[in-house]
A and B are shown apart, each in its own frame.
Chain A
Amino acid sequence: GNSVTQMEGPVTLSEEAFLTINCTYTATGYPSLFWYVQYPGEGLQLLLKATKADDKGSNKGFEATYRKETTSFHLEKGSVQVSDSAVYFCALSGYGSNDYKLSFGAGTTVTVRA
């Protein structure tokens, strides 16, 4: 079945530091890949997505590239802010049949200090 493995946290950074959160996946076919962000006490918000190999998703300074050869979708941001403190979830949605449900990683808690 489909599964997602992401870097364990927590991750603590200083403002303006570089952030990388690793995400690898196992899936059959051609899944779509997502990064969601959850701020304290809230639901999840879509951060970015990529639907095919070599696609790059980007939003709010975050980027992730769909690498089929390494089955990865690592999240990066060049200069984090305190407001980026949140839990980040990598997820995939299968392709074909009824396998369109989202499978989530365990989440990575990121804290950015001023």
Chain B
Amino acid sequence: DAGVIQSPRHEVTEMGQEVTLRCKPISGHNSLFWYRQTMMRGLELLIYFNNNVPIDDSGMPEDRFSAKMPNASFSTLKIQPSEPRDSAVYFCASSLVGQGLYEQYFGPGTRLTVT
């Protein structure tokens, strides 16, 4: 299995631009998580999908952030407009019912830099 795939691995953009991060979960997994990691705040959960439906988006910072999961094999996290404080590493993770919410498989992350 290829594991969780994220793209791009690195993204540098200017303030005000739209940024779209992509994630392909492990085939057969039905839960998907988006996290953000910074030195200041550690690893924060942004949103959690189960069977393609957003279950908990309380971690999404503000309306500039949106996430979609149109099918079981693809999810996007969009930031519009981006701001320098959005600079972070964004991780996508997936898990399988039966293994529980605590056995998650993380992707390699997307390092976002907003200048």
Same complex: no
Binding site for A on B (CB under 8 A): none
> Using a CB–CB distance below 8 Å, which chain A residues touch chain B?
none
